[in-house]
Amino acid sequence: MRNKLSNLQKIKLMEVFYFTGSGNSRCMAEFAAQALDVEAKALELWPKSTGILFLISLFGRGSGTKAAKAMVRPGEPVLLFGPVWGGLLIAPLRGVLSLCRKRKAPVVLVLSCGSPDEKRYSKWGYQKVLDAAKKVAGEWLFWATAVPVSLGLDPMPEDKELMHYRLEEKGLSKAQKERIMESVHRLRQTKSAAISEP
Ligand SMILES: Cc1cc2nc3c(=O)[nH]c(=O)nc-3n(C[C@H](O)[C@H](O)[C@H](O)COP(=O)(O)O)c2cc1C
């Protein structure tokens, strides 16, 4: 009984945050939030301009997020979603990851990206973004993975199409749901830090 109660408390305290440019990370975050029975919260950002955020990301800087400062609570697990842009760990994600480290909040990161698993080590692939996230959050990065928009699609859409693929219109594939659920389970465990091998 006591264990059941402490599990319920744990789940209630989990936060799901997302930053999104075109809605894909929101779609994934909402799916995870539903599984955790919490609300997915959008990160309110400064600066608002995508171009400026991209530039800040290029210089390896984080951007402050008002909402994250108010919402990342010491020691409480965070499930964070956001896109890969230009093969970079983007400033809003870097900002939250660094805040999680400062506040000793275990964090699980789920990237949304255009390039598929097979190209994860390429210039625009997600692997170096996962590596950068690990450097920023250190041992507080509990788990990190990526969900390519093409994951589970057969046939695979053309490269050009992938950049404009909207999960909110097309829906999540079974494989995408499974990968997101794996991160939800990792968040619940909060045991050891590791970069995923999808
Ligand atoms: C400016 C820009 C740059 C992008 N760069 C990459 C990239 O380097 N690698 C990649 O895999 N996908 C890249 N993408 C695709 C996005 O990561 C992908 O569409 C993602 O699902 C968008 O998530 P969002 O809708 O939450 O913003 C890029 C998209 C944009 C708009």
Place of tokens 């230009």: 86
State the distance from the centre of ligand 1 to the C-alpha of 111, rounded, in angstroms: 9
pLDDT digits (tens, 9 = 90+) for 55-64: 999 999 888 7
Question: In whole angstroms, what is the distance from residue 17 CA to residue 71 CA?
Answer: 9
* Superfamily of segment(s) 2-195: Flavodoxin domain (3.40.50.360)
Predicted confidence at residue 197, as pLDDT, reads 46
Q: Whose CA is nearest to atom 1 of ligand 1?
A: 85
State the distance from the centre of ligand 1 to the C-alpha of 84, rounded, in angstroms: 5
Q: Whose CA is nearest to atom 28 of ligand 1?
A: 85
Q: At what angle do helices 174-189 and 24-36 cross, to 10 degrees?
A: 50
- Residue ranges per domain, the chain? 2-195
pLDDT digits (tens, 9 = 90+) for 35-59: 999 999 998 777 788 888 889 999 9
Q: Assess contact for 101 and 74: CB atoms under 8 A.
A: no
Query: Which residues approach ligand 1 with their CB closer than 6 A?
Result: 20-25, 83-87, 112-115, 124, 126, 149, 163
